[in-house]
A = this chain, B = another copy of it.
Amino acid sequence: MEEKSISDIIEEYLKQILGESSQIEIRRSEIANHFDVVPSQINYVIKTRFTIQHGYLVQSKRGGGGYIRIERVNLLDNVDVLNSLIQAIGDSISERDAYDIVRTLYDEKLLTRREGDLMLVALSKQTLNVNDCNVEARLRARILISMLNRLRYES
């Protein structure tokens, strides 16, 4: 609510800019300077909050004129994006990453809250309750991909 971490604030800032155009290019050091953090914190924010699971593609370039480009994408509409998402899932996915994907679909209004919650409880560690974490993650991947494919065909 009130005491947000600086990472949360940087996330909001970037998303606010992204609200105006669907793609932005930033200079890492500028953002870091603006929020008075070390440059690698920007990498941390991007790595934890702007993944494909969240519905973002990120590209970057080093050297003079370097940049970090963040692009907002649609997970289900675009076949390429959906494929890269399924590729990112692979045959195994953590509870956290699965949660992020469902959350993104909900944010994009592709799921109702009830549908999203039904998916989340089916993917939760508590429900799956498998001793072996690898087995659990593989099972979660199968369930999630099955559900995504169902959504894909029905939309």
Contact = CB atoms under 8 A, between A and B. Distances in A.
Interface of A: 1-5, 7-8, 24-25, 27, 63-65, 67, 113-115, 117-119, 121-122, 124, 126-130, 139, 142-143, 146-147, 149-151, 154-155
Contacts of A65: 3-5, 7-8
A90 B142 CA distance: 24
B5 A150 contact: no
The 3 closest A-B pairs by CB, nearest first: A5-B65, A1-B25, A121-B146
Contact of A118 (B113, B119, B126): B119
Contacts of A4: 65
* Chain A interface SS verdict (over half): helix
Given A65-B4, A65-B8, A146 B117 contact: no
A117 B139 CA distance: 18
B155 A142 contact: no
A8 to B, nearest CB: 6
Nearest to A138: B129
A63 B8 CA distance: 12
A151 B118 CA distance: 8
B64 A5 contact: yes
Contacts of A25: 1-2
